[in-house]
């Protein structure tokens, strides 16, 4: 949910999107109160602070790994302010700790892109560039660095996987109206409908990213709709649940399952043939590009306020199938549980 988040938008319930395992370079609760003596202002080492939650979600773990690796490559100090949960209050506490540490730049990947707009304005006036995974409205960050939701060449390949003939299609999602999820989910659903106009879409099932609840919901759908041909899972937890329910029903390979994200559990189900395809983001590259974007700005030596914009650095999505998931070229699109 993910993840665009990767993977996210409004309240504590929205912020609960999660899956599996801890984050890299974890510095939650870091209460450093001043820049290092060798910070950018003195021509020395830069410090980049990163704020995000849900370290139990492999998407964020992998993003953190990418950011940490790029920071080391560029010779800058990287600090994370994270939490295992996605509560708005936890985001706020971590953001405050990061801001108090007086970094040269900040990466803020809050689930609600408008949560810290006033703080962004303050930081940017002070010359501190802020990169985010989703854009605040109106734009108050320097750059958006996240998943490309406009160049979707993979949809052609996805369309070839859609079965012919009449039947029903189900959509399993965390909550309705979550823009970062919808911006990835809706094009996939549209492509499936276009590939097979005879599919009848059932009412979406909303699970609040509860794997047990989602498994039960999909199991019920399979019983109630014997003609169910396609299931689209909007995120990692729902992809995991859908795969489990389809397997339990003995319908692996008989029902086409298209799931977003590429968590370890989803990848295992893909390799087993329970999931037909995964629409994957590359959180590692997002983390790398976020660090690179703010460091490039700082090293230009510009004075004064940082200009705000909705300009986006987009990292492409990929369609993973059983045939290509093990290809080395696709490694960056598979989420990790550790660095």
* Beta bridge partner(s), residue 106: 49, 130
pLDDT in tens, 303-338: 999 999 999 999 999 999 999 999 999 999 999 999
Q: What is the pLDDT of residues 252-276, one digit of tens each?
A: 999 999 999 999 999 999 999 999 9
Closest CA to 229 of 204, 253, 211, 265: 253
Residue with more model confidence, 302 or 192:
192
In this prediction, residue 26 carries a pLDDT of: 36
Task: Give dist(CA 51, CA 115) in Å, integer.
Answer: 12
Residue 20 has a pLDDT of 32
What per-residue confidence (pLDDT) applies to 57? 83
pLDDT single digits (tens) 16-53: 333 333 333 333 334 333 333 344 444 469 999 999 98
Find the mean pLDDT for residues 142-153.
Answer: 96
Range from 4-13, 60-69, 201-210, 236-245 carrying the lowest mean pLDDT: 4-13
The confidence score (pLDDT) of residue 19 equals: 32
Q: Which residue has the higher pLDDT, 41 or 207?
A: 207
Mean pLDDT, the chain, rounded, equals: 88
- In this prediction, residue 209 has a pLDDT band, given cuts at 50, 70 and 90, of confident
How confident is the model at residue 32, as a pLDDT?
Answer: 35
Which pLDDT score is estimated for 83? Answer: 87
Whether 282 contacts 316, CB under 8 Å: yes
When pLDDT is averaged across residues 284-291 and rounded to a whole number, the result is 98
Q: pLDDT tens across 50-95, in order? A: 999 888 889 999 999 999 999 999 999 999 999 887 788 999 999 9
Tell me what pLDDT residue 178 has.
82
Could you tell me the pTM of the whole model?
0.83
């Amino acid at each position: 949910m993910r993840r665009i988040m990767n993977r996210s938008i409004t309240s504590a319930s929205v912020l609960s999107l999660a899956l599996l395992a801890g984050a890299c370079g974890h510095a939650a609760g870091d209460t450093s109160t001043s820049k290092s003596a060798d910070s950018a202002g003195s021509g020395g080492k830069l410090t980049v602070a990163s704020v995000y939650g849900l370290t139990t979600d492999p998407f964020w773990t992998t993003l953190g790994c990418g950011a940490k690796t790029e920071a080391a490559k560029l010779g800058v100090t990287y600090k994370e302010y994270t939490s295992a949960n996605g509560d708005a209050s936890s985001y706020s506490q971590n953001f405050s700790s990061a801001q108090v540490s007086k970094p040269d730049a900040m990466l803020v990947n809050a689930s609600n892109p408008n949560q810290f707009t006033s703080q962004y304005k303050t930081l940017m006036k002070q010359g501190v560039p802020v990169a985010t995974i989703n854009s605040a409205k109106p734009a108050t960050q320097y750059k958006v660095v996240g998943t490309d939701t406009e160049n979707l060449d993979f949809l052609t390949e996805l369309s070839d996987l859609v079965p012919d003939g009449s039947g029903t299609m189900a959509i399993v999602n965390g909550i309705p109206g979550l823009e970062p999820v919808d911006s990835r989910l809706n094009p996939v659903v549209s492509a499936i409908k276009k590939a097979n106009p005879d599919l009848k879409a059932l009412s979406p099932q909303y699970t609040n990213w509860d794997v047990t609840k989602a498994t039960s919901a999909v199991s019920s759908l399979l019983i109630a709709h014997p003609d169910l041909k396609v299931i689209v899972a909007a995120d990692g937890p729902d992809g995991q649940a859908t795969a489990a329910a389809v397997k339990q029903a003995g319908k692996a390979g008989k029902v086409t399952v298209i799931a977003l994200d590429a968590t370890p559990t989803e990848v295992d189900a893909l390799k087993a043939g329970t999931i037909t395809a995964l629409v994957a983001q590359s959180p590692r590259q997002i983390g790398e590009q976020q660090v690179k974007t703010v460091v490039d700005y700082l090293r230009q030596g510009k004075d004064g306020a940082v200009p705000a914009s909705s300009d986006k650095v987009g990292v492409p999505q990929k369609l993973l199938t059983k045939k290509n998931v093990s290809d080395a070229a696709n490694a960056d699109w598979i989420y990790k549980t550790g660095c």
